[in-house]
Chains A and B, each alone.
Chain A
Amino acid sequence: MAVLIDLVLLAMLAITALRVIFLKDLFAVVMLFGIYSFLSALIFVSLDAVDVAFTEASVGAGISTVLMLGTLALTGRTEKENKHSSLLPFLVVVVTGAALVYGTLDMPPFGHPDNPVHEHVAPRYIEQSPKEVGLPNMVTSVLASYRGFDTLGETVVVFAAAIGVMSLLGIRRRSEDETPESGLKEHQVLRVVAKLLIPFVVLFALYVQFHGDFGPGGGFQAGVIAAAAFILYALVYGLPLAFQVIGPKFLQLLAPFGVLLYASVGLYSMFKGGLFLDYNTLASDPVAGQHYGIIIIELGVGITVFAVMLSIFYAFASQAERSNVQ
Chain B
Amino acid sequence: MTRFLPKRLDFWFFAKIVIFSLFGFFLIYPFVNMFIRGFTSTDGTFSLAYFQRFAEYKYYYQTLFRSLSVAVSTTFFAMLVGMPMAYAMSRYNLIGKRVINIMIIMSLMSPPFIGAYSWILLLGRSGVITKFFVGLGINMPSIYGYLGIILVFTLKLFPYIYLYVSGALGSIDSSLEEAAENLGSNKLRRLMTITFPVILPTILSGAIMVFMSALADFGTPMLIGEGYKVLPVLVYEEYMSEIGGNAGMASALSMIVIMVSMFVLLMQKRFVAKRKYTMSALRPPQIIKLRVIPKIVLSCLAFIVSLVAFLPQIVVVYTSFVKTSGPVFVAGYSLDSYRTIFYRLARNITNTFTFSTIAMFFIIIIGILVAYLMVRRPSKSSTVLDVFVMFPYVVPSAIMGISLLLAFNRRPLLLAGTSFIMIVAYAIRKMPYTVRSASAILQQIDPSIEDASINLGVSPIKTFFTVTSRLMLPGIISGAILSWISTINELGSSVMLYTGRTATISVAIYTEVIRNSFGTAAALASILTVATILSFIIFALISKGKVSVI
Question: Do A and B interact with each other, yes or no?
Answer: no
Residues of A within 8 A of B (CB): none
